[in-house]
Amino acid sequence: MSYTKDIAVQRINILFTLAERMFFSHPELAQRYVDLARRIGMRCKVRIPRKWRRRFCRKCGSFLWPGVNCRVRIRQNRFPHIVITCLKCGSQRRIPIK
């Protein structure tokens, strides 16, 4: 991994942790941190780590906090999976359980 991509991954991690801390006191600032982290990832062509990739909505880009602005359910239909529903735009993400 090149030097710029390594710095980009570090910056993405920092911005997402800041968004996590600021979510309840300043939700607009937390959203701005998430937007910046996604933009850094796209510009440097770096994948966002898995633990942060599941914390924002792919459709509207909002930072997700279970029980506040998203709903998390476990389903058994066809195959066991977790369904994360964004309460802002209504999009759903299915994550298989192994």
Assign 11 a pLDDT band (cuts: 50, 70, 90).
very high
Percent of the chain with pLDDT over 70: 99
Classify residue 11 as left (phi > 0), alpha (psi -120 to 50) or beta. Answer: alpha
Q: Is pLDDT larger for residue 98 or for residue 48?
A: 48
Sequence length of the chain is 98
CB of 61 within 8 A of CB of 38? yes
What per-residue confidence (pLDDT) applies to 98?
84
Nearest Cα residue to 97 out of 83, 18, 10, 35: 83
